[in-house]
Amino acid sequence: MIRLNILRMFCRSRTLLQPDSSLREKVSFSRAFTCACCASKKDNSCSIGNLQQRFVLQDLSAKREVGVRYMCTTQVFFNCWNCKELLKQKPAFFCKSCQVVQPPYEGTSYFNIMESDCTFTLDTQKLQKKYLQLQRLLHPDNFSQKSEREQEYSESQSALVNKAYETLLKPLSRGLYMLELQGLNIEEGTDSAVNSELLMELMEINEALDAVQTPQEANEIGQDTKGTGKLADLTEQIDTALNKGELQTAKALLTKMKYFANIEEKVKEKLSSFM
């Protein structure tokens, strides 16, 4: 009996000395992935990418189901469906060897697609220039005489470029997408996240907008919404929060921005009603 107890104690101590297999799995998994927006860079300096690795280490099992949505590996490459040539560029819209359009890769971030910096204050003029360039290449009209498969891929690629451009063009949708890359979403009915003072201000703005009688009055409300203390101020605060990796702060600020963006859209509708 004594020998049996000693053997059990020995086995237990050996088990405690062994590294946790789940921890080894988490570490190796985190090293295999990098920020989707930085997949083409040689370093991992982007705060978004660093935060993604921390998320993996904190709770790998919870992230497995959505991991593909906001992460992608830098090691995996694909072959051209037509000539089987290795496609080293990602995303690859065309094969450099046979010039055939390729299918879109799931998991590629919109920042990568538009060859844009993964930042809240990106250059929208550069974004628009890239959008026009890609659409000239990928528009389905260019493939009307091609095979059915090429037509299908061109439609998919063109639609993806449209979606990426529309998402990154406006600050609100861009910020929400950057949070989505981290697995954070702003749900509908988030009034509880906004203080009563701001809700009262929003209510007064909406009432004033409903009562306007001239385009000039509507324009004044629109300019005030864009001015200091509203969208302009929020944009600066959101950029600072995202750069610091303060995602919950960015989420709260984007919730506020969502309300003021709705007012901006209402102003546009009001102005169009006077035409």
CATH 1.20.1280.20 intervals, the chain: 191-273
Kindly tell me if the per-residue pLDDT of 245 is higher than 80: yes
91 upstream amide cis, omega within 30 of 0: yes
Q: Which two tokens stand for residue 265?
A: 């859209």
94 backbone dihedrals φ, ψ, rounded to 5°: -135, 155
Q: Which of 215-224, 225-234, 244-253 has the highest average model confidence (pLDDT)?
A: 244-253
Kindly tell me if the per-residue pLDDT of 114 is higher than 60: yes
pLDDT digits (tens, 9 = 90+) for 203-216: 888 898 888 889 88
Mean pLDDT of 239-260: 92
Q: To the nearest whole number, what is the mean pLDDT of the chain? A: 76
176: Cα within 13 Å, side-chain hemisphere: 18
Residue type, 245: G
Strand partners, 190: none
CATH 1.10.287.110 intervals, the chain: 78-180
Q: How far is CA 136 from CA 132, 140, 145, 154, in A?
A: 6, 10, 16, 11
Surface-to-core class of residue 35, CB atoms within 10 Å of its CB (0-12 exposed, 13-18 middle, 19+ buried): buried
The rounded distance, in Å, linking the Cα atoms of 78 and 92 is 9
Q: pLDDT band for 99, please (50, 70, 90 cuts).
A: very high
Residues 6+ apart with CB under 8 A from 177: 110, 167, 168
Fold of the domain built from segment(s) 78-180: Helix Hairpins (1.10.287)
Question: Which class does domain 191-273 fall in?
Answer: mainly alpha
Kindly tell me if the per-residue pLDDT of 224 is higher than 90: no
Q: Which residue has the higher pLDDT, 143 or 34?
A: 143
What is the pLDDT at residue 223? 82
230 contacts 260 by C-beta, under 8 angstroms: yes
The rounded distance, in Å, linking the Cα atoms of 97 and 84 is 9
pLDDT digits (tens, 9 = 90+) for 51-83: 444 333 333 333 333 333 333 334 567 899 999
